[in-house]
Amino acid sequence: MVAVERSSQQEALCSLKLLRDQFMEERERRDATERALQRLQTEFDQCRSDASVAMETQKKMASDLSEQLEDEKRRHADTQSLLQQAAQSRNEADEAFVGSMNQIRELLKQHGSSGEPAEDAGSRSLSAEVLQLLRTTLSSDQRRLQEADQKVQDLLFASQKLQDENQTLRQLASDQKSQIEESLLVSVQLEEEVTRLRQEASDWSKQSRVLRVELDKERKARMEEVQEINEKHQEESTARLTFLHCLYQRLLAGCVLLQQPQSILGNFTWPELCDVISEQVDQLTSDLQKASDKIAHLQSVYHKKSVCVRELQRSQECVLSRLKESVKRREEAWNSQHLNTVKELQLCRSQCDSLQSLVSSLTSDLTRSRRACSSFCSASVLLGGALRHVLLRLGRLSQQKSLLKRRVEELELLEEEVRRLGDALGAQEEEQEDGGRRSRALRRWRRTVWAVKAVRRWRQLAANTTLLFQVETGGRTVCVCGGSATLEGQDLSDQDEGPAAVCYRLLRSECLSSIILSSMSDLQEALSHSGSAPPHLMSAARSALSRLLEQLLDQSADGVETDTLRLPPRPDVKALVSNLQQHFLLFSQRLHSAEVERRSLRVELANQKRGQRREEDSRRTAASERFHSVCAELREALSREQQAQALIQEQSLQLHTLRQEVDKHSALQTDTQHALSRTTQEVSRKERSLRILGKHLSEVQRQKQQVEEKLQRAEEELSHAHRQQEAVITCVKVAERNCTQVHTHTHTHTHTHTHTHTHT
């Protein structure tokens, strides 16, 4: 019985090992099939993406080629129509030429058949006129024929070019066709690969089904074996229990006959033996119960694993069906998109034709508006030049007038003060008539100096204006000025260029056109609104004209503000009067001292006269000394005059430097204005670019958010799949752990059972 139990336990262990090995093999096969399915799925996705990309590229290439072919067909049709027109025109020209030749022949025949010419001059004149008409018609026909031949040659050359282009396009079309065929072959190969992969997937599914059937069969066989083992164990346990029961009854009855030295039971008492037997029975029943529980647990785990495998197979089948449906849907969507794109292409072509017609009409309108604008600008430039010249003259005359008024007022004040001083010194003026003559000479000299200065200033005024040309209308002359020449660079450029270049540059100036457009914008808006009232138009016209004149005058007043009569700062009248009083006091003191000296000199002169009468030699020496003194006085006067001229030159140099500084300041102001306008334009452009960039950034952020949402969804799906995989792995680990526990429990159970048997 012990050997039978051992053999049954060994068989059970072997069957458990086989079951475990088979389970491990099935798990490895399942893992291999899952890996193969994943690999095939990735390959299928990659092949499908490559095929979709290739199909899209091929579709794009096919659409481009179809567009190019349509364009070439249109060009070919246009060239054919042009050739037909040229041939028709040539035929018409030939027919006209033949008809004209026939008419000429008939006219010549008629003229020849009319006999000898009459003697009157009328017939001769008619024949000459006819010949002249014939010559003119022949020359015109020859010219027309030459023009027609030239046109035909041009058309033939164009047709040759178009044929060459058509050949190149045909070659391109053939190359594209070959590429399309190659792409079709590649797509066929990809389809074959997809079918092969699908076949492999179906084979794998069949193999998985076969394995599942085999697993079911194996499970049934193992269940039958387990049932047989349980039945055998139950039979053995019942047999053992009956044997023990019989043994127990016999022991109780005392009918067991054993030899004392041979029996092992002789060493134990009855209660001990009963306790040992009861313990062994309890242990065996508990082991049996545990083994049955473990078997039930393993059966439940096996059932769960089979359910998981079925669910995985179902999910794989669902995924494959979904992939097939998605592929079909994408193909249908691609077909619908292709149809929609074809329709959109047709609509776009029609819209392009309409837009081309609109562009042609708009270009014609634009050329007209440009011509009108250029004519308006040129007229405004000419009027502005005339106005500039008048403004320059008026401004300079007003400045001269104001300056002269100031000088006159100052002179009147000076004259009043001088008169007062003269009244105070009237007695001395009567005594000094020679001094009055000198003052009158000095006044004449000053007047001449002022006249020379005025002439120089008028010349400078004339030099500061760039006169382009003059227009005489009804005895009146209007001068057109090209701008102020106060700036050194502009003056040099004008002198280098000449009046024609200055006029061309003035008519082509962009600043003037921008001024006219900016000043007339409100008036154009008021004119564009049909419902605007006349007072509104009047106010708009008034404001536009005022702005135009202000801007033109501001631009043309570069050299107006420069004071051509600007002199160094003059002292105040009061200071001059005080200086004059001081000079008069000094002069009176000097006069007094001079009077004293004169009297003393008179005394000395009388004494000298007395001595001169006596000595003639002394007279000659005195005359020579007087001559030398007069020469010295003249030299001093010349030196004073030279000093005055040097002062005048210094003043003119100072005026010139001041003018240059003023010109530089005005040039800097204009440069700053231009720089400000440019900076404002650049700021507006940057603001526009920033707005566009903001829109692009918002779009990019929106796309980024969409991509992040997609990534989150994909991560969630991956995490869900990872969780499922971890759950499967945990289930497998639990099953392995349970198997190991069953194995260890059975091993310990067999070991304890063998130990008890050995003890028994």
The DSSP bridge partners found for residue 481 are 467
The Cβ of residue 385 has, within 10 Å, a number of other Cβ atoms equal to 25
- The pTM for the full model equals 0.25
Report pLDDT for 468.
65
C-alpha–C-alpha distance, residues 11 and 196, integer Å: 46
Confidence band for 568, pLDDT divided at 50, 70 and 90: very low
pLDDT tens for residues 456-477? 766 666 666 666 666 665 555 6
Structure tokens at 589: 């003191």
pLDDT tens for residues 168-180? 777 777 776 777 7
- Under DSSP, the state recorded for 531 is T
3-state secondary structure 613-664: HHCHHHHHHHHHHHHHHHHHHHHHHHHHHHHHHHHHHHHHHHHHHHHHHHHH
Report pLDDT for 258.
45
Structure tokens at 739: 């198997």
- Average pLDDT for residues 338-349, to the nearest whole number? 81
C-alpha–C-alpha distance, residues 488 and 494, integer Å: 10
C-alpha–C-alpha distance, residues 499 and 493, integer Å: 11
- Give me the long-range contacts of 667-670 (CB less than 8 A, separation at least 24): 667/487, 667/489, 670/558
What's the mean per-residue pLDDT of the chain? 70
Report pLDDT for 107.
63
Contact assessment for residue 279 and residue 287, using Cβ atoms and an 8 Å cutoff: no
Contact assessment for residue 739 and residue 298, using Cβ atoms and an 8 Å cutoff: yes
Report pLDDT for 216.
79
Confidence band for 356, pLDDT divided at 50, 70 and 90: confident
C-alpha–C-alpha distance, residues 757 and 7, integer Å: 14
Contact assessment for residue 395 and residue 486, using Cβ atoms and an 8 Å cutoff: no
DSSP-derived secondary structure for 144-193: HHHHHHHHHHHHHHHHHHHHHHHHHHHHHHHHHHHHHHHHHHHHHHHHHH
pLDDT tens for residues 285-309? 887 788 788 888 877 887 887 787 7
Least confident stretch, 141-145, 312-316, 346-350 = 141-145
Structure tokens at 207: 């193999």
Residue of 556 and 380 predicted with greater confidence? 380
DSSP-derived 3-state class of residue 484? strand
DSSP-derived 3-state class of residue 463? helix
Strands 476-484 and 465-473: antiparallel
Report pLDDT for 441.
67
Residues 6+ apart with CB under 8 A from 403: 563, 565
Residues 6+ apart with CB under 8 A from 431: none
Contact assessment for residue 487 and residue 663, using Cβ atoms and an 8 Å cutoff: yes
Least confident stretch, 2-11, 51-60, 110-119, 398-407 = 110-119
Confidence band for 122, pLDDT divided at 50, 70 and 90: very low
Among 551, 219, 591, residue whose Cα is nearest residue 435: 591
Q: Sign of dihedral through CA atoms 489, 493, 499, 503?
A: negative
- Average pLDDT for residues 703-732, to the nearest whole number? 73
Report pLDDT for 262.
43
pLDDT tens for residues 253-287? 654 444 444 444 445 566 776 777 777 778 778 87
Report pLDDT for 434.
54
Structure tokens at 285: 């029943």
Least confident stretch, 11-15, 19-23, 166-170, 457-461 = 457-461
pLDDT tens for residues 417-470? 767 766 665 545 454 555 556 666 667 776 776 777 766 766 666 666 666 666
Structure tokens at 455: 């002439």
Contact assessment for residue 262 and residue 270, using Cβ atoms and an 8 Å cutoff: no
The Cβ of residue 533 has, within 10 Å, a number of other Cβ atoms equal to 10
Residue of 312 and 433 predicted with greater confidence? 312
pLDDT tens for residues 618-658? 555 555 676 677 677 777 877 777 776 777 777 677 767 76
Residue 7 gets the label, from left (phi > 0), alpha (psi -120 to 50) or beta, of alpha
Structure tokens at 382: 């000419």
Specify the amino acid at residue 484: S
What are the phi and psi torsion angles at 743 (to 5°)? -60, -45
The Cβ of residue 409 has, within 10 Å, a number of other Cβ atoms equal to 11
Least confident stretch, 100-109, 228-237, 487-496 = 487-496
How far is the CA of 78 from the CAs of 29, 171, 507, in angstroms? 71, 21, 44
- Say how many CA atoms lie within 13 Å of 62 toward its Cβ: 16
Among 678, 652, 686, 27, residue whose Cα is nearest residue 301: 27
pLDDT tens for residues 215-238? 778 778 778 877 888 788 788 777
Tokens 């194996």, located at residue: 218
Confidence band for 241, pLDDT divided at 50, 70 and 90: confident
pLDDT tens for residues 664-704? 766 777 777 777 777 777 777 777 777 777 777 777 777 77
Burial (Cβ within 10 Å: 0-12, 13-18, ≥19) of residue 506:
buried
What are the phi and psi torsion angles at 469 (to 5°)? -160, 170
- Enumerate the H helices of 425-498 as residue ranges: 426-431, 433-463, 488-497
Residue of 501 and 739 predicted with greater confidence? 501
C-alpha–C-alpha distance, residues 190 and 182, integer Å: 12
Report pLDDT for 467.
66
C-alpha–C-alpha distance, residues 734 and 739, integer Å: 8
pLDDT winner (highest mean) among 43-57, 221-235, 494-508: 221-235
Report pLDDT for 620.
59
C-alpha–C-alpha distance, residues 43 and 193, integer Å: 10
Tokens 């039958």, located at residue: 224
C-alpha–C-alpha distance, residues 212 and 647, integer Å: 127
Report pLDDT for 115.
42
Structure tokens at 345: 């292409």
Tokens 């050739």, located at residue: 83
C-alpha–C-alpha distance, residues 637 and 629, integer Å: 12
The Cβ of residue 243 has, within 10 Å, a number of other Cβ atoms equal to 11
Residue of 532 and 600 predicted with greater confidence? 600
Structure tokens at 702: 């929106």
Report pLDDT for 554.
63
Distance of CA 191 to the CA centre of its chain: 44
How far is the CA of 187 from the CAs of 66, 133, 175, 193, 362, in angstroms? 21, 77, 18, 10, 49
- Under DSSP, the state recorded for 507 is H
Residue 566 gets the label, from left (phi > 0), alpha (psi -120 to 50) or beta, of beta
Axis crossing angle, helix 521-528 with helix 534-556, rounded to the nearest 10: 160
Report pLDDT for 297.
82
